[in-house]
Amino acid sequence: MRLAIFGATGRSGRVIVEQSLQLGHQVTALARKPENVPHHEHLRAVAGDVCDPAPVARTVADADVVISALGRRRRGPSICTEGMRVILAAMASDGPRRLIALSNYGVAETRHRSLFVAVSWLLERSVLRDKEDMEAAIRAGDTEWTLIRPPVLTDGPRTKRYHTGVELRLTVGSRVSRADLAAFTLSAAEDNTYVRQGVAIAY
Ligand SMILES: NC(=O)c1ccc[n+]([C@@H]2O[C@H](COP(=O)([O-])OP(=O)(O)OC[C@H]3O[C@@H](n4cnc5c(N)ncnc54)[C@H](OP(=O)(O)O)[C@@H]3O)[C@@H](O)[C@H]2O)c1
């Protein structure tokens, strides 16, 4: 597959890129610092900011699937929302239709009354707000989207022993490694099980 990856230099995005290349996919990665993207014959780095339409359009142009591992710092712009609007506009003008975006548990239909959700909103309010707005923008478009809702991420190994599900309930103790998150992200890119759905993942 030809994958367009945003957030490729992040802690999760780097693992998604690594596993994509191991699987033999062709990757185009947008990066503000392209020198932080690995050199590989099947990887093309596009220099730029996700809020800049021209490099975003070049990134998605030939892709089959778009993957967003964008993230924002607690203080900083709502980059997931702002960036996603630019990505969606690029996809709408003759781009690919399949979109996989890393989001958070505790927003939209998963904003349950639970300790985990309450603590998440207490500690990460601006991050979760950004994700709610990002999700609203995605749902308003006509891409074939899947939102992935991880719990706390770890740098542990790939175990393949994770569970996923639309109804999967995450708790304060839920965890998944970035390696397993990346593996699930790439498997979601290859099938349509969770199209137009948010799916949680955890051990
Ligand atoms: N960490 C957790 O435990 C956790 C739990 C649940 C969900 N999540 C979600 O999972 C996603 C990935 O998390 P992470 O920890 O891997 O994120 P991260 O390490 O903070 O990476 C964020 C990525 O977004 C890129 N980015 C930010 N602003 C950009 C801009 N203006 N233009 C282009 N790229 C930009 C960063 O690029 P630069 O390298 O240039 O900064 C980086 O590649 C996030 O959405 C996060 O909220 C994380």
Cβ 202 under 6 angstroms from ligand 1: no
- CA–CA gap between residue 52 and residue 176 (Å, rounded): 32
Give the per-residue pLDDT at 74.
Answer: 67
Domain extent at residue 167: 2-202
What would the mean pLDDT of 175-182 be, rounded to a whole number? 98
Each residue's pLDDT tens digit, 77-92:
899 999 999 999 999 9
Please state, for a pLDDT cut of 70, what percent of the chain lies above it. Answer: 100
Ramachandran region, residue 106 (left: φ > 0; alpha: ψ -120 to 50; beta: rest): left
Best of 33, 123, 146, 153 for a ligand 1 pocket test (most atoms within 8 Å of beta carbon): 153
Atom of ligand 1 at shortest range from CA of 70: 24
H/E run at residue 26: strand 26-31
| Sign of the torsion formed by the C-alpha atoms of 17, 127, 63 and 54 | negative
Cβ 69 under 6 angstroms from ligand 1: yes
Question: Does the global pTM surpass 0.95?
Answer: yes
- Start-to-end CA distance of the chain, whole Å, equals 28
Ligand 1: distance of its center to the CA of 69 in Å? 6
Cβ 51 under 6 angstroms from ligand 1: yes
Q: Which CATH number goes with the domain that contains 140?
A: 3.40.50.720
Number of independent structural domains in the chain: 1
Please state, for a pLDDT cut of 90, what percent of the chain lies above it. Answer: 96
Which residue's CA is minimally distant from atom 7 of ligand 1? 104
**Mean of pLDDT over the chain:** 96
Ligand 1: distance of its center to the CA of 11 in Å? 7
Cβ 71 under 6 angstroms from ligand 1: yes
Each residue's pLDDT tens digit, 126-176:
999 999 999 999 999 999 999 999 999 999 999 999 999 999 999 999 999
Each residue's pLDDT tens digit, 154-165:
999 999 999 999
Length in residues, the chain: 203
Give the per-residue pLDDT at 72.
Answer: 82
